[in-house]
Amino acid sequence: MTNTVMSYENAAEMGLSAEEFDRVCAHMGRIPNLTELGVFSAMWSEHCSYKSSRRWLKTLPTTGDRVIQGPGENAGVVDIGDGWAAVFKIESHNHPSFIEPYQGAATGVGGILRDVFTMGARPVALLNALRFGAPDHPLTRYLVSGVVAGIGGYGNCIGIPTIGGEVNFNPSYNSNILVNAMAVGLARADRIFYSAASGAGNPVYYIGAKTGRDGIHGATMASAEFNEDAASKRPTVQVGDPFAGKLLLEASLELMDSDSVVAIQDMGAAGLTSSSVEMSAKGGLGMEIDLDQVPVREDGMSAYEIMLSESQERMLVILKPEAAETAREILSKWDLDCAEIGHVTDTGRLVLMKDGALAADIPLAPLVDDAPEYDRPHEQSPALPVIDSGTISTGDSVITVLKTLLASHHLASRRWIWEQYDRDVMADTIASSGGDAALVRVHGSDRGIAVTTDCTPRYVKADPEMGCMQAVAEAYRNISAIGATPIAITNNLNFGNPEKPLIMGQIAGSVTGMGKAAEALGTPVVSGNVSLYNETDGKAIDPAPVVGMVGAMDNVAQSAGIALDTKGLAIFIIGQDEKTNDGWLGCSVYADIMTDNPDAAPPPVDCAIELANGTFVRDQITAGVINAAHDIADGGMLPALAEMILAGGIGADICLPAGGNSHGWCFGEDQGRYLVATDQPDQLKDAAASAGVAATLIGTSGGKALKLTGGDSISIVELKTLHEGWMPDLMAKSPQR
């Protein structure tokens, strides 16, 4: 066994505390060698062990009638009816995308796709939640163009439509962008594959691309003690190969179809380490691997490097012993490497051989079960005052404000981004970017799944618990607004350093809020990811607990879009009564753009109302009463209406309420509301009354402009120029590194 003796210092370089190192030694019964310590440090990293967040994640609701698999597998699985299951997860690639935006984002997409197809599902949709720095920050354009090209580059090439997402710009992300990618797949509910190993003696196969020195933990490798030849072992950026990804996708699905697979897991973060450890530990078994059998791309790779490499497009598979020949045939058809690298044992240990000698021997139970878990001190963010909208309203006309907001970085169209994504490949896209949720059809049927990602960091920063409830509620509204039934969520918790009590307080508050809303709205959390330490020079990002939600509908023909494309429709606000003549401007887009943005509490979320209004809107859509629907979110009612007008090309006449505060009424961000257009106003009103849902008629569709009572108006052409112009103008300036 290679016996460089590890020290506290080495442990610290790998991110393990002295106390954690003591624990490793106790479990091992000796001082671990480099490879063993590397395995521990990877498995006990924040990324793999969730040591700061686990205590809180345990509080989330994770079960429900439709949940087939909750958190703990590669992705969550829910029943969407008719024997179909949706398999989905979201994952971050924040740091790599800042270092190398194209490859960082591309490999983020590749990684999340593997999480989905490793469960036997064919991926059918990709989404991305992005956070960049201030638009005028010198790095922003370079990062935006690289990240967007990388996401498109991978998704377009592998042939899976990228159909939704969200983008925020805020200076807190100047040096720490967020790149979260979500993938959704479809499988037959009775053909889901899991990662738990079984059957001692079963062969362990490595399939996919060769292993190189990609993405090996930087801090570790920079340390001279660990290598004689530092330059040649320099950690390298992971490069995505979507073509290899496509081959791996097809080969894996074919392999799973061929009835050869006992268990399968992709090699994601911490590569061969996490896949081998998790597969064997989940099955309560052990594994012996001969690292000399691992297909490598470079000469002289050490056991440590092979175990910790994050080369892309690789899978670990436990095969039925009799299936070896079938597997080889399938892999060779797809021109992929395939090697038997070991077997399952019943020893409960991970044994690694290299150059014919023992390279590591680790007891798995403590490695997995005794991973550190911390109850870190947490402090609540101070409550912010509720601000009366009257105190921050400006004297500008409503149309002037609308123009300013629509052309602001908050609300301007993201077309520049999503036109770079193939949204139509697979030919089942019913709705994609530009509306609320996106909708894809289950191939060969009328059934659809609706997907969205949402989070408003502004709210979360102001009030983590309420802000995260809002993220769930907004996702719920987006799914409902297209006519689908929300089913379950995945989430990506992006925060700063959890060792700071205020940050830990944001995490605790957010998870609490997410749990409450998920429970109340009947959308359990089935998968997720945590990305902590998003800080630069001690300054944390604005917290971003991104929520990805999946919903389902029986017949996509019954869905509604946001487009106001018919004259003479009655336009209602659902979730707001006729007496309301003001709105919540604190913590709004309006406050950010039009005022000096005083600290203020975000709009409160009432889940009971969300549930009632969402159910009402969905029911009226499927009943054919609603012609177009859009949830009211960032920016408030009037920008939402403008988006409907822009999407459909028909204008509207809107009646402002008498008295009150027109800015609050037009731009307030009160929750639980939708704009709907209908050609059956009486029916809608009656249905609302009997459902106990507030519905207020505010105007009629028609014409080529948005007109307000009193004569103020703006043409669709002008609206379009403002809304569509901002991002192309920004990106037309040259990028700079």
Partner 1 sequence: MKVTVTITLKPGVLDPQGRAIEHSLLSLGYQDAKEVSTGKLITLDIDEDDENRARQKVAKMCETLLVNTVIEDYDIHCLVADEGDEA
Partner 2 sequence: MDIAVITFPGSNCDRDIITAVESITGRLPQLIWHKDSDIGKPDLVLVPGGFSFGDYLRCGAIAARSPAMDAVYDHALRGGMVMGICNGFQILIECGLLPGALIRNSGLKFVCRNTRLKTSQTGKAIMGRLEDGEELTIPVAHNEGQFFADEDTLSKIQDNGQIAFTYAATHGEDDYNPNGSALDIAGITSENGRVLGLMPHPERMMSEAVGGTDGRRMLTAIIEASQS
Residue ranges binding partner 1 (CB under 8 A): 99-100, 102-103, 209, 212-214, 232, 234, 236-239, 241, 243-244, 297-298, 311-312, 335, 733-737
Rg for the chain, CA atoms, rounded = 26
Among 152, 435, 586, 602, binds partner 2 (CB under 8 A): 152
Q: What is the DSSP string of 266-326?
A: E--TTHHHHHHHHHHHHTT-EEEEEGGGS-BSSTT--HHHHHH---SSEEEEEEPGGGHHH
Between CA 35 and CA 360 the distance in angstroms is 6
| Distance (Å, whole) CA 54 – CA 75 | 17
Q: In angstroms, what is the minimal distance from the CB of 548 to partner 2?
A: 22
Angstrom distance (rounded) from CA 208 to CA 341:
13
Nearest approach in angstroms of CB 12 to partner 1 is 26
Of the listed pieces 64-72, 165-173, 225-233, 305-313, which binds ligand ADP according to CB under 6 A?
165-173
Of residues 88, 418, 476, 665, which one binds ligand ADP by CB under 6 A? 418
The CA distance from 626 to 447, in Å, is: 20
Question: Is residue 198 a contact point for partner 2 (CB under 8 A)?
Answer: no
Among 25, 196, 339, 425, which residue interacts with partner 2 (rule: CB under 8 A)?
Answer: 425
Q: How far apart are CA 615 and CA 484, in angstroms?
A: 10
Active-site residue flag, 630: no
556 binds, among ligand ADP, partner 2, Mg ion, none (CB under 5 to 8 A by kind): partner 2
With contacts defined by CB under 6 A, name the span among 347-355, 433-441, 486-494, 722-730 that binds ligand ADP.
433-441
Name which of 631, 677, 590, 628 is nearest 471 in CA terms. 631
Stretch that binds partner 2, among 237-245, 276-284, 300-308, 385-393 (CB under 8 A): 237-245
- In 3D space, the residue among 722, 734, 541 whose CA is nearest the CA of residue 141 turns out to be 734
What is the C-alpha separation between 571 and 560, in angstroms, rounded?
14
Residue nearer to partner 1 on the CB measure, 224 or 231: 231
The answer to whether residues 485 and 552 touch, using CB atoms and an 8 Å cutoff, is yes
> Which residues lie across from 263 on neighbouring strands?
318
Q: Is 428 in the site for partner 2 (CB under 8 A)?
A: yes
Q: Name which of partner 2, ligand ADP, partner 1, none residue 736 binds, using a CB cut-off of 5 to 8 Å depending on partner kind.
A: partner 1
Closer to ligand ADP by CB, 48 or 90: give it: 90
φ/ψ bin of 193: left (φ > 0), alpha (ψ from -120 to 50), beta (otherwise): beta
For residue 338, state whether it binds ligand ADP (rule: CB under 6 A): no
Nearer to partner 2, 143 or 472 (CB): 143
Please give the structure tokens belonging to residue 482: 């297209």
Q: Which ranges of 452-582 does DSSP label H, i.e. alpha helix?
A: 457-462, 464-481, 501-521
Among residues 207 and 589, whose Cβ is nearest to ligand ADP? 589
Spatial contact of 344 and 201, defined as CB atoms under 8 Å apart: yes
The verdict on 30 binding partner 2 (CB under 8 A) reads no
Please, what's the b/e burial string for 412-430 (b: 16 or more CB within 10 A of its CB; e: otherwise)? bbbebbbebbbbeebebbb
Query: Is residue 730 near partner 2 by the rule CB under 8 A?
Result: no
Residues 114-143 that bind ligand ADP (CB under 6 A): 128, 130
Per-residue interface string for the shown chain with partner 2, residues 540-579, x marking contact by CB under 8 A:
----------------xx----------------------
Nearer to partner 2, 243 or 709 (CB): 243
What does 276 interact with, of partner 2, partner 1, Mg ion, none (CB < 5 to 8 A by kind)?
none
Q: Are 656 and 699 in contact (CB under 8 A)?
A: no
Assess 715 for contact with partner 2 (CB under 8 A): no
At its nearest, how many Å lie between partner 2 and the CB of residue 332?
11
- Comparing CB distances to partner 2, the nearer of 436 and 582 is 436
Residue 46 C-beta: closest distance to Mg ion, Å: 32
# residues near ligand ADP by CB under 6 A:
17
Residue 93 bears catalytic tag: yes
Q: What is the 3-state secondary structure (H, E, C) of 339-393?
A: EEEEEEECCCEEEEEECCEEEEEEEHHHHHHCCCCCCCCCCCCCCCCCCCHHHHC
Residue of 27, 93, 409, 410 marked active site: 93
Rounded-to-integer distance, Cα 163 and Cα 93, Å: 19
Contact present, 534 and 178 (Cβ < 8 Å)? yes
Q: Quick check: 717 binds partner 2 (CB under 8 A)? A: no
Give the nearest residue (CB) to Mg ion.
436
Nearer to ligand ADP, 79 or 166 (CB): 166
Tell me if 181 contacts ligand ADP by CB under 6 A.
Answer: no
| Residues 467, 547 contacting (CB under 8 angstroms) | no
Sign of the dihedral defined by the CA atoms of residues 26, 29, 31, 32, in that order: negative
Per CB under 6 A, 603 contacts ligand ADP: no
Cβ 699 vs Cβ 571: under 8 Å: yes
Q: Which CB, 71 or 561, lies closer to partner 2?
A: 561
454 is a contact residue toward ligand ADP (CB under 6 A): yes
- In the complex with partner 2, which residue's Cβ is closer, 251 or 504? 251
First to last CA, the chain: 45
In angstroms, the CA 723 to CA 36 distance is 55
For residue 243, state whether it binds partner 2 (rule: CB under 8 A). yes
What's the closest the beta carbon of residue 215 comes to partner 1, in angstroms? 11
Q: Which residues are 320's β-sheet partners?
A: none
Binding site for Mg ion (CB under 5 A): 436, 478, 631
Cβ nearer to ligand ADP, comparing 320 with 414: 414
What is the rounded distance in angstroms from the CA atom of residue 61 to the CA atom of residue 350? 33
Question: What is d(CA 697, CA 657) in angstroms, rounded to the nearest whole number?
Answer: 11
Q: According to CB under 6 A, which one of 172, 433, 527, 531 is a site residue for ligand ADP?
A: 433
Provide the mask over 376-415, with x wherever binding to ligand ADP is found by CB under 6 A and - wherever it is not.
--------------------------------------x-
The residues in 301-340 that bind partner 2, with binding defined as CB under 8 A, are 334-335
Q: Is 633 in the site for ligand ADP (CB under 6 A)?
A: yes
For partner 1, the closer of residues 23 and 141 by Cβ is 141
Residues 6 or more apart whose CB falls under 8 angstroms from that of 684 comprise 570, 572, 620, 625, 626, 676, 678, 695
Alpha helices by DSSP H, 463-606: 464-481, 501-521, 589-594
C-alpha–C-alpha distance, residues 647 and 563, integer Å: 5
Q: Does 412 bind partner 2 (CB under 8 A)?
A: no
Q: Can residue 441 be called a binding residue for partner 2 (CB under 8 A)?
A: yes
Nearer to partner 1, 214 or 643 (CB): 214
Closer residue to partner 1 (CB): 105 or 439? 105
Residues paired with residue 318 on neighbouring β-strands, in sequence order: 204, 263
| Per CB under 8 A, 427 contacts partner 2 | yes
Closest CA to 613 of 586, 576, 666, 583: 576
**Minimal distance in Å, beta carbon 335 to partner 1?**
7
167 lies in the binding site for partner 2 (CB under 8 A): no
Query: Of residues 27, 47, 137, 630, which has the active-site annotation?
Result: 47
Which of partner 2, partner 1, Mg ion, none has residue 631 at its interface (CB below 5 to 8 Å by kind)?
A: Mg ion
**Positions in the binding site for partner 2 (CB under 8 A):** 149, 152-153, 156-159, 241-244, 246-247, 334-335, 418-430, 441, 443-444, 556-557
User: What residues line the site for ligand ADP (CB under 6 A)?
Assistant: 128, 130, 164-167, 414, 417-418, 433-436, 454, 478, 633-634
Active-site residue list = 47, 93
